[in-house]
Structure 1
Amino acid sequence: MAAPAAAISAPGVLADLLPASTRARAVARDAVLVLGGAAAVGASAQVAITVPQISPVPFVLTTFTVLLLGAAYGPLRAGLTLALYLVAGMAGVPWFTEGASGFGFPSFGYIIGFLVAGVAVGWLAGRGGDRTVLKTAGLMVLGNVIMYAFGTPYLAYATGVGAAQAVEWGITPYLIGDAIKLVFAALLLPGAWWAVNKFRSQD
């Protein structure tokens, strides 16, 4: 006999939908998610194009991956995933953009921003911030602003340029691409929740 709808606990984020009947299985599930998520972020970082005439910061898919992961994982899983990506890359794993590792390159500040943005987006998503198109768009804007807030000052520091040049290199060229990613995310995440709710209502 199906449980009443009110008795079915509502998932906070999409990852909560993955079954785990015991505490041990939940830990194993989350460990797989963290490792797989870090690998996915690393893989997306290899899809990169650098145009030196425009900026020393590559055009990448990583920002999109990080924000989707944050919303789908929630703050704890996203934080662990992106902390693993950050620390392992600093330690020498060549999964930063274009196979880089360490921290002595101009775009490293964005990677720190990934961690902060992923946690912030995950926290808000767990409170319903990814359930509608408008809310999800707001999440994506916030996440991008956080990444810029960390990446641009580090870019200025690493290259020795002023604030205006850092903005010209580190923000302006990416606004259109980030807007396109925002639209995709704003459709994808609420669409996933619509499918989930439709399925759950049929139980």
Structure 2
Amino acid sequence: MSLAVAGRRPVLADLIARPTDRARAAALDAALVVAGAAVVAVLAQVEVPLWPVPVTGQTLAVVVVGAALGARRGAAALVTYLVAGLAGLPVFAGFTGTIAAITKPSFGFIIGFVFAAFVAGWFAERAWDRRPVLAFVGFAAASVIPFLFGVPYMAFILNTVLGKGLGIEAILAAGVTPFILGGIVKAALAALLIPAAWAGVRALERRSGR
């Protein structure tokens, strides 16, 4: 199936020469998806322990992977990451991985990562990843997505499952406030990394006379 979509611009992963053979092209996409999941797994171990949700490098990885791979491959990479962790591979923060992760207050954020990667990829496919300012806007928007899933999920686990009885202010203080500054910094870092990669590509093209 072709990755061509109306209005879609190439993302960084599209610079890799794509085989004309369908099976080899699918194998390339699969390899990119697995590589993206691996990047998220590595940065998930960059962790500042907080309760009930730790601060990790996952959001940065999610945005970068989504932008580099594009919407569908980026989302597929995060689905792969999620499934690998639930299957027991130690890819979640703290080198953990178990089906029991679904009972943790932070698991909703991991679900949200799938959609965040898609959104980051969607912006990249419209060339918002070529300039830092536009990239920051798109990546900041993508960084909000995990909270839309994570905060309600966290509230459900803490209040309904664990019986904590926390109010909305306490939920926001635990699941939103500590991550605002870090989210801005990570979106800004991604907005420097991806456009810098494109600048490098353009420089190489000029040198080769393309």
Q: Give 1:23-38 correspondences, 5 Å limit.
A: 23=21, 24-38=23-37
* Equivalent residue letter for 2:18: A
**Distance change (3 Å), C-alpha of 1:196 and 1:11:** farther
Shift of 1:149: 1.0
Q: TM-score, normalised by structure 1?
A: 0.87
Percentage of matched positions with identical amino acids: 40
What corresponds to 1:101 in structure 2?
98
Greater displacement, 105-114 / 13-22:
13-22
Displacement over 4 Å in runs of 4+: none
Is 2:187 aligned against 1:182? Answer: yes
Q: Give secondary structure in 1 for the equivalent of 2:125.
A: helix
Deviation at 1:18, TM superposition (A): 0.9
Residue correspondence of structure 1 range 85-96 to structure 2 within 5 A = 85-96=81-92
SS of 2:130 mapped into structure 1: coil
Q: Counterpart in 2 of 1:128?
A: 127
Matched position secondary structure for 1:128: coil
Task: Write the distance in 2 (CA, Å) between the matches of 1:173 and 1:73.
Answer: 29
Q: How far 1:11 moved relative to its partner?
A: 5.6
Q: Does 1:14 align with 2:19?
A: no
Count residues with an aligned counterpart. 191
Root-mean-square deviation (Å): 1.7
Deviation at 1:72, TM superposition (A): 0.4
What's the secondary structure of 2:126's corresponding residue? Answer: helix
Letter in 2 for 1:147: P
* 1:28-76 deviations in Å (ceiling 9; x for gaps): 221111112112212221221213xxx3111100110010000000011
CA distance in 2, matches of 1:137, 1:86: 25
TM-aligned CA deviation for residue 101 of structure 1: 2.5
